[in-house]
Amino acid sequence: MSRIAFMPSRVLTPAGFESDRCVVVGEGRIAGVLPASECPPDVPARKLAGDLLPGFIDLQVNGGAGVLFNDRPAMEGIAAIAAAHRRFGTTGFLPTIISDDLEVVAAAIGAVDTAIARGMPGVLGIHIEGPFLNPAKKGIHDASKFRILDEEAIALLSSLRHGRTVVTLAPELAPAGAIRALVDRGVIVCAGHTAASYQEIQVGIAEGLSGFTHLFNAMSPLGSREPGAVGAALDGCGTWCGLIVDGHHVHPASLRIALAAIGAERLALVTDAMPTVGWDRNEFQLGGVKIAACDGYCMAPDGTLAGSNVNMAQAVRNACRMMRVDDATAIRMATAVPASAIGLSDEVGSIAPGLRADFVLVGPDMDVIESWIRGEPTRPGR
């Protein structure tokens, strides 16, 4: 593609919000971020009424537009989910498969591999959440699908050829050396749906475990004499944590405690979105169970939370309000932090020379006006 210069009201760079800036894009990448007065005269300029941000990156997307990835682990399913979330500024995401038979997991990995190989916009890899989880913290997952992490499973989980793989597992149930085997093959391992003790989490971290999936939810809580998985996450050790900021999964006070304990630079906003995002219906089926979406969350008839009904733009707004952070901090939790968590900071997550031209243009209330992936635009609704 030919070069173009964007001149937004403000642009969010690693230095913060800046005005009077010119963002030059060429060949799908950012060629420069310059003072507006230094914008190359031979490059067509387009003024943008709004703030230009890095595109949002969501590491946990179960579905959208009426599609659950488990039910449609194919390129068409991924494309529908991607389109639903792009309306809300998500330009990079991990389609997420929850606990299922290994044949379904294999189909999901194959679909993501093909999608990336064929250049499907926005797909950064896959998140495999289960089935190597603890039944005591199963949440909405089907415990009948759970299994032990053996050599066959390790080979499958590390078989993606393109993009990043995130695996959520219960470290206390992983055989010795299994986490290390995954990490050595390039898999990013996170603790989730876990009843692990603080010490068991430390063993996992020593093997290479680097993250926590939806912090506070479906994991052993912080206690006075047993810090549990939550305590291990808040204690640091360089790990990162995903947070569902929908106002229901985690109390705002707990969100602020996590922020105070480990800092915004290690907290990644995730949606844990279900098929109702970007869809005109408020219920869907999950393993034969009717799930209802209401006020940002999804719930089974027995009261079990079943993912969320929020998009990333809403998650950023919620973080500003519930965590009492400024816009720039909340946005970085939805861009730079998730990019860093999966080792893609040199590709996406910031507006800086050399990175991919993945942007979102927003209005005063984080309303998405337009987005770009590799410099190619899409307006909401398309």
Q: Find out whether 307 is annotated in a ligand binding site.
A: yes
* Residue 168, Ramachandran bin (φ over 0: left; ψ between -120 and 50: alpha; else beta): beta
Query: What gap in Å lies between CA 3 and CA 196, rounded to an integer?
Result: 52
Q: Find out whether 193 is annotated in a ligand binding site.
A: yes
Q: Find out whether 341 is annotated in a ligand binding site.
A: no
Query: What gap in Å lies between CA 170 and CA 149, rounded to an integer?
Result: 10
* Beta bridge partner(s), residue 368: 362
Query: What gap in Å lies between CA 105 and CA 110, rounded to an integer?
Result: 9
**Pair 368, 359: CB distance under 8 Å:** no
Q: State the catalytic residue, choosing from 100, 142, 272, 358.
A: 272
**Pair 35, 22: CB distance under 8 Å:** yes
Q: Find out whether 218 is annotated in a ligand binding site.
A: yes
Query: What gap in Å lies between CA 332 and CA 57, rounded to an integer?
Result: 10
For the chain, the residue count is 382
Q: Find out whether 179 is annotated in a ligand binding site.
A: no
Q: Find out whether 305 is annotated in a ligand binding site.
A: yes
Q: Find out whether 306 is annotated in a ligand binding site.
A: yes
Q: Find out whether 265 is annotated in a ligand binding site.
A: no
Q: Work out the burial of residue 235: count CB atoms within 10 Å of its CB; fewer than 13 is exposed, 13-18 middle, 19 or more buried.
A: middle
Q: Find out whether 141 is annotated in a ligand binding site.
A: no
Is residue 272 annotated as part of the catalytic site, yes or no? yes
For 301-350, give the DSSP string: TTS-EEEE---HHHHHHHHHHHS---HHHHHHHTTHHHHHHTT-TTTSSS
Q: Which residues are catalytic?
A: 272
Q: Which residues are annotated as a binding site?
A: 129, 140, 193, 214, 217-218, 225, 249, 305-307
Q: Which residues line the annotated binding site for Zn(2+)? A: 129, 193, 214
Residues belonging to the binding site for substrate are: 140, 217-218, 225, 249, 305-307
